[in-house]
Amino acid sequence: MPIFPALLIWSVAMAAPTENPPLVDGALLPIGDACYTVQGSEQGKSAGNVLRRVERLDDQRLRIIVTSRFNGGPLLTSRIELAFPNLRPIRTIEQSDGKTDLSVRYRGDKARGTVTGEDGRRRTSEVPLPGPVWDDETIEFVLAALPLAEGAHFDLPLFHFGRGPGVTRIDVRRSIVAQGFERGPTDAWEIEGSTRSDMTITFLVAKADRRLLAVDVGGVRSTLGGDCSPLIR
C-alpha cells in the first residue's frame, strides 16, 4: 500500500520499458519501523497514520510491510517480498481488514495474480511484464535506494497487477535543511515524482540514512512521526 491513497495513481501513462534501469541498492534502506501522520482537512487534525516496516529475511530477500488506516476506514496492509539488493518484486499481498484483495507472484518475465472481487470470487490470471520492473507499491522505498544527488534524474519502470505497467519520472530537485523533525534540522533531498495524472508528488529523503521524512501529494502532507500503535496487531 503506498504511503497514502493518492499514490495509487502513481505510474506515468508511458508503458514502454526503459533501456537502462537505474542502479538500486537496498542496503541503503534503514531497517525497522517508521510511523507517519497524514494531515487532515482541518488544521491540527490527523486523517490517519501509516506504519512502514523494512525487514531483512536473509541475505537475498527483504520484506516490506505497510499498514495504514484513514478516517476510521479499513485497516490496509501490503506485504511485499523483494530481492536484495535490487528490490525487484518477488511477491505482493494486499489486504483490507485482514482479507486478501490481491496476491501476486513475480517469476521471470511474468506476473501471476489472484484478485478477489466484490462478490468474493477469486480470479487468477498471468500477464507478461514489459521487462525488469519494480512493484509500484514500493516506489517510496525504491527512490530512497537510488544513487541520489542534486540534479539527478531517473526513469523507473513500475508494475501493478491491477493497473498495469508504467514509467515514473524521478527528479532530485535540490538539497534542503528539513525542519520540525524529532532529530532536529536534517540535511535532505527534495525529490519530485511525476504521475499519470500529471500530479507532482514531492518527497523529502534524509541524506545521512535515507529515511523518508515526508511526502506531499496535492497539498496533503504525510510526515515522519506520530503514534502507530493502533496499527500493530
- Can you say whether residue 209 is alpha, beta or left, with left for phi > 0 and alpha for psi between -120 and 50 degrees? alpha
Average pLDDT for 48-65 = 96
pLDDT, tens digit, for every residue of 197-233?
567 899 999 999 999 999 998 888 999 999 999 998 6
Range of the domain at 40: 5-231
Q: Which three cell numbers stand for residue 1?
A: 500500500
Query: What is the band of 195 on the pLDDT scale with cuts at 50, 70, 90?
Result: low
Please say if the pLDDT value at position 175 is more than 60: yes
| Beta carbons of 50 and 3 less than 8 angstroms apart | yes
Question: Domain tally for the chain?
Answer: 1
Q: Rounded to two decimals, what is the model's pTM?
A: 0.87
pLDDT, tens digit, for every residue of 105-143?
999 999 999 999 888 899 999 999 989 999 988 999 999
